[in-house]
């Protein structure tokens, strides 16, 4: 078993390698003067079970291309099996035609990853579970939910909790956490008049005097969660905190969260923390490396990954 790190999240790759007590493969992923990517391994790869770790976070296209070129190099180095470990799978929100003459970019990215040489994919909280079907190779989709539940129980013990889905699309994810916490579920009726802009139409459920926990897969501009928090507080909640798997945090999202009524926003480190995230007063990160490492160990030993979530 060997672990290769591309450049999008080296601290996570190192943490995974430390968990597995393995060194990262000695490799260089670098740029030519014209910004073309070049990859070179400085050790033998032949016959190895190789895991390539890369989140396709911003700059998404560069990070995707790095992943593809790395897998191409691995295939040409005679790796026995290549697993693309993509903790944050970018382009996942483009998983259907949103209008006439538009792409399904998530499918294109799945094709690219497969064509570049991946034998299987390991990812975390895919935006939509059915994206697994865009691949004709095995996909293991891990869930941050158990980690969130454990953290919520420890951090919010004794509070009058209520789980909130920030939109209708997130109900299944939020309900899974509400069930594990034995608490109620509220739903935000969200409207997106245009890309990057969200509006709260209604809060469905009685949030009065509750300590609300919004659960979601992605925070991008922060609009969804900040608007939801304001609406929930207007409806009489006692507090609002947020748990999100992937901290995309584009533009001034961290500042927006800082200026909102969100008590604390917790994200995993599936995407490397920017300085703004590291210093954000009401933002914290939960390490995902132990979960990824255990899943990788099980894949390598051909044992069950799903039983991690029993």
Q: Does 125 bind ligand R5P (CB under 6 A)?
A: no
DSSP 153-177: HHHSTTS-EEEEESSGGGHHHHHHH
Q: Does 216 bind ligand R5P (CB under 6 A)?
A: yes
To 10 degrees, the CA torsion angle through 114, 117, 122, 124? -50
Q: Does 217 bind ligand R5P (CB under 6 A)?
A: yes
> Nearest distance from residue 295's CB to ligand R5P, in Å?
22
Q: Does 220 bind ligand R5P (CB under 6 A)?
A: yes
Interface mask toward ligand R5P for 162-181; x: CB under 6 A: ----xx-xx-----------
Residue count at the site for ligand R5P (CB under 6 A)?
Answer: 15
> Nearest distance from residue 113's CB to ligand R5P, in Å?
21
CA distance 53 to 51: 6
Burial class (CB in 10 A: 0-12, 13-18, 19+), 261: middle
- Among 57, 224, 241, 260, indicate the residue that binds ligand R5P (CB under 6 A): 224
CB 22 within 8 A of CB 14: no
Binding to ligand R5P (CB under 6 A): which residues in 34-53?
none
Nearer to ligand R5P, 83 or 224 (CB): 224
Q: Which stretch binds ligand R5P (CB under 6 A): 9-17, 62-70, 217-225, 285-293?
A: 217-225
Cis peptide before 59 (omega within 30 of 0): yes
Interface mask toward ligand R5P for 176-215; x: CB under 6 A: --------------------x-x-----------------
Q: Does 219 bind ligand R5P (CB under 6 A)?
A: yes
Q: Does 218 bind ligand R5P (CB under 6 A)?
A: yes
Nearer to ligand R5P, 87 or 222 (CB): 222
> Nearest distance from residue 129's CB to ligand R5P, in Å?
13
Q: Does 95 bind ligand R5P (CB under 6 A)?
A: no
Helix (H) or strand (E) holding 202: strand 197-204
Angle value at C-alpha 123, between 121 and 125, nearest 5 degrees: 145
Residues 6+ apart with CB under 8 A from 302: none
> Nearest distance from residue 226's CB to ligand R5P, in Å?
8
> Nearest distance from residue 263's CB to ligand R5P, in Å?
18
HEC sequence for 247-291:
ECCCCCHHHHHHCCCEEEEEEECCCCCCHHHHHCCCEEEECCHHH
CA distance 175 to 184: 8
Q: Does 223 bind ligand R5P (CB under 6 A)?
A: yes
* Catalytic (active site) residue 153: no
Half-sphere exposure of 94 (CA within 13 A, CB side): 13
Contact footprint for ligand R5P (CB under 6 A): 166-167, 169-170, 196, 198, 216-224
Kindly list the catalytic residues.
Answer: 190
């Amino acid at each position: 078993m060997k672990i290769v790190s591309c450049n999008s999240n080296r601290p996570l790759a190192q943490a995974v390698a430390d968990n597995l007590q393995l060194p990262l493969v000695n490799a260089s992923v670098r740029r030519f003067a014209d910004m073309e990517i070049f990859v070179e391994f400085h050790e033998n790869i032949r016959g190895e079970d190789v895991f390539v770790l890369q989140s396709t976070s911003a700059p998404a296209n560069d990070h995707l291309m790095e992943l593809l070129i790395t897998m191409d190099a691995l295939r040409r180095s005679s790796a026995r099996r290549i697993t693309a470990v993509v903790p944050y799978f970018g382009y996942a929100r483009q998983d259907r035609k949103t209008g006439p003459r538009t792409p399904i970019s998530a499918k294109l990215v799945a094709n690219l990853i497969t064509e570049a040489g991946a034998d299987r994919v390991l990812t975390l909280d895919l935006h939509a579970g059915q994206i697994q079907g865009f691949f004709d190779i095995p996909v293991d989709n891990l869930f941050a939910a158990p980690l969130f539940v454990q953290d919520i129980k420890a951090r919010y013990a004794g509070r009058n909790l209520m789980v909130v889905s920030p939109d209708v699309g997130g109900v299944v994810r939020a309900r899974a956490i509400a069930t594990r916490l034995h608490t109620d579920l509220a739903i935000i009726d969200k409207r997106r008049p245009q890309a990057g802009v969200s509006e709260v139409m209604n809060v469905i459920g009685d949030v009065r005097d509750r300590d609300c926990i919004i659960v979601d897969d992605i925070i991008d501009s922060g609009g969804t969660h900040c608007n939801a928090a304001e609406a929930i507080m207007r409806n009489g909640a006692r507090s609002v905190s947020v748990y999100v798997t992937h901290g995309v945090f584009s533009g001034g999202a961290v500042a927006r969260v800082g200026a909102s009524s969100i008590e604390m926003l917790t994200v995993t480190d599936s995407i490397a923390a920017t300085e703004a995230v590291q210093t954000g007063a009401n933002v914290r990160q939960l390490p995902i490396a132990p979960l990824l490492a255990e899943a990788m160990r099980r894949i390598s030993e051909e044992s069950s990954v799903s039983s991690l979530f029993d």
